[in-house]
Structure 1
Amino acid sequence: MVIAQVAVVGAGYMGGGIAQVLAMAGLRVTIADADAQTTQRHLERLRREASEFEEQGLFDPGSAALVESNLSAAASLEEAVAEADFVEEAVLEVPEVKGPVLLAIEAAARPDAVIGSNTSTLPIAGLAEQLKHPERFLGVHFSNPAPFIPGVELIAHAGTDEASVVAAEELVARTGKLSARVNDKAGFVLNRLQYVLLKEAATLVEEGVATAEDVDIIVRTTFGYRLPFFGPFAIADMAGLDVYAAGFRTLAEHYGERLAPPAVLTELVDGGHYGVKQDGGFVIPAGDAAPLVAYRNRAYARLGQLLRELGPAPAATKE
């Protein structure tokens, strides 16, 4: 399937950002929201924002013109999806809201149209249960703010046709973003990790280990500083998997089984795989580490330069 015409149902902050991204990729995009008047207001906002972002240097030159020419508003959901090759649902993260909207999309869309949901936590199989053609349905989860965050989760349920997944992959690639296929478990990858981090951060505050402000400083200036360039597996490979295994044993002594060494880590270490320093690890193979170390050092230094240029993030003053 070649996707050329797209509909986005739910044109608020998240859906509107997705619509901008798709329009800037050269796709014809039609948006629909609660009613025609609301949809028109969103269209005007999205065009205005695109112009402002381009003026600020946040969008490439010509982006506002692409949004102006490729993005349009429909009078109804049915009109928006009628000729679409792909429909992205981006309404409230509530099954009682998403369910009827997805049914309406399926009823009005072409039989061969791929339907994606931007759900961030709800299992795709559950949303697919009431659809007549679940094989063309999957999760296509953009992150907030959609115009600027480059990663997209693709979540197929057991009945999703492979052709639908491939079509979604190709669509995301056209936008310049990176997609990752993940299995259909609540929260998927992004939010399972994000919520676990917040939960542990809150526990640290509750235990009096540090204030919320100090936890944020530690996160963004230590391991968070690495995350724009490397994921947790690559970071562990560079630090040494034997070091991580020993660290987990210490944590398990103090916090119990929940922080015991993961089996997949123990198996690697027992097999002599310590990461970069010996026989490779989770994602980094054995070999000359010098180019990787040079890239790492350059990346961290450049990030430091950017942060100094931007200065600290503005924050509302507490009363």
Structure 2
Amino acid sequence: MNKVAVIGIGAMGSGIAYVSAWNGYSVKVRDVSKDFVEQGMNKIRQSVMTGIDKGKLSPIEGEKMLKNIQATTDMKEAVQDADLVIEAVFEDMKIKKEVFSELDSICPESTILASNTSTKSITEIASQTGRPESVIGMHFFNPVPAMKLVELVMGEKTSEKTYEAAEEFCRNLGKTTVRAKDSPGFIVNRILLPTLNEAMKLVDSGIATKEDVDKAMMLGANFPMGPFALADYVGLDVALAALTTLHDAFGEFYRPSESLKDLVKNGHLGMKTGKGFYEYAK
């Protein structure tokens, strides 16, 4: 496996492209508009500059990495010779199904199709293709260069051959993998999201302030950051979409908090918009 395509180059897609190029893969990235492509490439360039500033790579190595990444708005150009395609579009099942249907019609039969979804059904996504045995969940965590884990999620028809190839790819990126069956939220988000949501409900009910909840979980449970700071970092729209998926699947326990819904409704999505549960300098 030498050629990787990443579809969608927001925070996750740009990170996946970066670590793939860092580890010697030839990478093509694709998004729906030139503006989105340029924004994604700017994120990658910034990551390269950060790596140079920290002494993790030389300017020559950074230049070589960037040359290893080609950007386009054309889906066929991005994936027609890819060994592995990783979808990293927004957490919307309709969009993901459309992407996988298109990928199936363009990609070589040997291409593995992976989704970076954090909660959606791999089996349902794979049903849009004629190769469900070659479809797998490959859930990276944000920020991709720093986070060591990748969840590999098996759809009902995902083959062991596909799993082994995906596991080898992740290992080549320096990641540790865990294997999960196809179930909403998989492992990490099935456990993490209720924790964040319960923290929000606790504050909604007036039991404590968000500042004290974050302090309590950092000092009492050794969290590296508190639930509210983490939700802001992840993106409140992302958290809400994931919780909604879990609520639809498992019922009332996962119902998103009112404060989370209100913030998203008003466009306050966390660090990326300058305001969420906390305010941030732009």
Taking structure 1 as the reference length, the TM-score comes to: 0.67
For residues 159-199 of structure 1, give each alpha carbon's deviation from its aligned partner in whole angstroms, at most 9, with x where no partner exists.
Answer: 00111011010000111111111111001111111111012
My pick for the range that moved more, 96-105 or 46-55, is 46-55
Corresponding residue for 2:53?
Answer: 56
My pick for the range that moved more, 88-97 or 66-75, is 66-75
Overall identity of the aligned pairs, in %:
33
Cα separation, 2, equivalents of 1:178 and 1:88: 17
For residues 125-159 of structure 1, give each alpha carbon's deviation from its aligned partner in whole angstroms, at most 9, with x where no partner exists.
Answer: 11112211111001001111212211111001110
Corresponding residue for 2:21?
Answer: 23
- Letter of the structure 2 residue corresponding to residue 138 of structure 1: I
- Letter of the structure 1 residue corresponding to residue 99 of structure 2: V
2:154–2:181 contact (8 Å) kept in structure 1:
yes
For residues 232-276 of structure 1, give each alpha carbon's deviation from its aligned partner in whole angstroms, at most 9, with x where no partner exists.
Answer: xxxxxxxxxxxxxxxxxxxxxxxxxx9xxxxxxxxxxxxxxxxxx
1:152–1:180 contact (8 Å) kept in structure 2:
yes
SS of residue in 2 equivalent to 1:15: helix
- Letter of the structure 2 residue corresponding to residue 189 of structure 1: I
Corresponding residue for 2:188?
Answer: 190
1:9 and 2:43 aligned: no
Pick from 154, 157, 181: which aligns with 2:155? 157
- CA distance 1:130–1:182, change in 2 (3 Å): same
Tell me the CA shift for residue 55 of structure 1. Answer: 3.6
1:150–1:178 contact (8 Å) kept in structure 2:
yes
Gaps in structure 2 of 5+ consecutive residues: 226-252, 254-277
- Letter of the structure 2 residue corresponding to residue 53 of structure 1: T
1:316 and 2:274 aligned: no
- Regions of 4+ moved over 3 Å: 58-63, 315-318
Corresponding residue for 1:87?
Answer: 85
- CA distance 1:216–1:105, change in 2 (3 Å): same
Map residues 156-235 of structure 1 onto 2, 5 A cutoff: 156-225=154-223
2:14–2:41 contact (8 Å) kept in structure 1:
no
Pick from 143, 156, 173: which aligns with 2:141? 143
- Letter of the structure 2 residue corresponding to residue 316 of structure 1: E
Number of residue equivalences: 229
1:50–1:67 contact (8 Å) kept in structure 2:
no
1:40–1:73 contact (8 Å) kept in structure 2:
yes
Cα separation, 2, equivalents of 1:138 and 1:58: 35
Tell me the CA shift for residue 207 of structure 1. Answer: 3.7
1:21–1:146 contact (8 Å) kept in structure 2:
yes
Tell me the CA shift for residue 48 of structure 1. Answer: 2.3
Tell me the CA shift for residue 54 of structure 1. Answer: 1.8
- CA distance 1:58–1:20, change in 2 (3 Å): farther
2:45–2:66 contact (8 Å) kept in structure 1:
no
Cα separation, 2, equivalents of 1:30 and 1:55: 22
- Letter of the structure 2 residue corresponding to residue 144 of structure 1: N
Cα separation, 2, equivalents of 1:206 and 1:42: 36
- CA distance 1:225–1:46, change in 2 (3 Å): closer
Pick from 128, 148, 152: which aligns with 1:130? 128
- Letter of the structure 1 residue corresponding to residue 46 of structure 2: E
2:138–2:151 contact (8 Å) kept in structure 1:
yes
- CA distance 1:217–1:91, change in 2 (3 Å): same
Tell me the CA shift for residue 224 of structure 1. Answer: 2.8
- Letter of the structure 2 residue corresponding to residue 114 of structure 1: I
Tell me the CA shift for residue 58 of structure 1. Answer: 7.7
Cα separation, 2, equivalents of 1:119 and 1:47: 21
- CA distance 1:118–1:44, change in 2 (3 Å): closer
- CA distance 1:10–1:114, change in 2 (3 Å): same
Gaps in structure 1 of 5+ consecutive residues: 228-257, 259-314
Which has the larger Rg?
A: 1
SS of residue in 2 equivalent to 1:149: coil
For residues 263-319 of structure 1, give each alpha carbon's deviation from its aligned partner in whole angstroms, at most 9, with x where no partner exists.
Answer: xxxxxxxxxxxxxxxxxxxxxxxxxxxxxxxxxxxxxxxxxxxxxxxxxxxx7379x
Tell me the CA shift for residue 103 of structure 1. Answer: 0.8
Cα separation, 2, equivalents of 1:58 and 1:145: 19
Taking structure 2 as the reference length, the TM-score comes to: 0.75
